[in-house]
A and B are shown apart, each in its own frame.
Chain A
C-alpha cells in the first residue's frame, strides 16, 4: 500500500484563480481530513469527511470546500485565491469512527505545496 497519495505535488496559481487538490486515502480508510500548514506553524484543520459526509469544519472561509467520493478519495477546492492561501495542504486518512468510541490516528500524505503569485 502506497499510503495516502496527494496530487499535484506542487502548484503555482495567481490571485483570484481557483484550485482543486486531490487525495487518495489508504485502502480501507473511510475518513479523510484536510489541513493547511503555513511555514513555521503546525497543521491547521480545514475539513473532515467520513463516509462521504462532512463531519467537521475548521475556521476557514467559504472559499474553501471539499467533497468525498464513493471510493473515499477526496478533493479540496479553493476559490478566489489570495496570497495568504500559499501553504502546504495536507491530506490525512483514518479508519474513522461512527459515534464516539475512539479517535483513530491520522495517516498523512506528503502534501501539495500551493504557491500564489
Chain B
C-alpha cells in the first residue's frame, strides 16, 4: 500500500540555522513526490516537486529512491518559513495523492 511518513510533528530551529524536514514513502511504482506548505491562515499550496529539480524560497528536495526518501532542506531558515509542511506522493494511475501527516516548522528569532 502507498504510504507517506513524516516522523517529526514539530520541528523548531533558530533563524539562520539549517533545516531538514524528513519524508519517507512506500510505493512499488515510479513515484512523483511533492512538498506542500500551509502558512498561517492561508490555503495549502505547492512548494516544489521532485521532477522540477528547482529551488523555491531557498528550499530543495532530492528524491532518493534507494532510501525511499524526499527530505526538504534549507541551509538558512527564516522566520517566514514557519508553517505546516506536507509531503505528498502522486500516483499516476487514478491520479491519487497520498499526503503525510505533516510537520510544523517553527523558526525562532
User: Which partner residue on chain B sits nearest A45 by CB separation?
Assistant: B96
CB of B57 closer than 8 Å to a CB of A: no
- One of A19-27, A50-58, A63-71 at the interface: A50-58
**Hey, which chain A residues are within 8 Å of B51, CB to CB?**
102
Contact flags B39-59 to A (C-beta < 8 A → 1, else 0) = 000011110010100000000
Roughly how many angstroms separate A21 CA and B20 CA in the complex, as a whole number? 37
| Residues A108 and B34 in contact, CB atoms below 8 Å apart | no
Q: Number of contact residues on B: which range applies?
A: 20 to 34
* 27 sampled A-B residue pairs with Cβ under 8 A: A33-B95, A33-B97, A35-B97, A35-B99, A40-B101, A41-B101, A42-B86, A42-B99, A42-B100, A42-B102, A43-B44, A45-B96, A55-B95, A56-B95, A57-B94, A90-B44, A96-B95, A97-B95, A100-B93, A105-B34, A107-B45, A107-B46, A108-B36, A108-B43, A108-B44, A109-B43, A111-B43
Name the 9 nearest CB pairs between A and B, nearest first.
Answer: A56-B94, A42-B99, A103-B90, A108-B44, A105-B46, A56-B96, A100-B92, A43-B99, A48-B95
Residues of A within 8 A of B (CB): 3, 31, 33, 35, 40-45, 48, 50, 55-58, 90, 92, 94, 96-97, 100, 102-103, 105-111
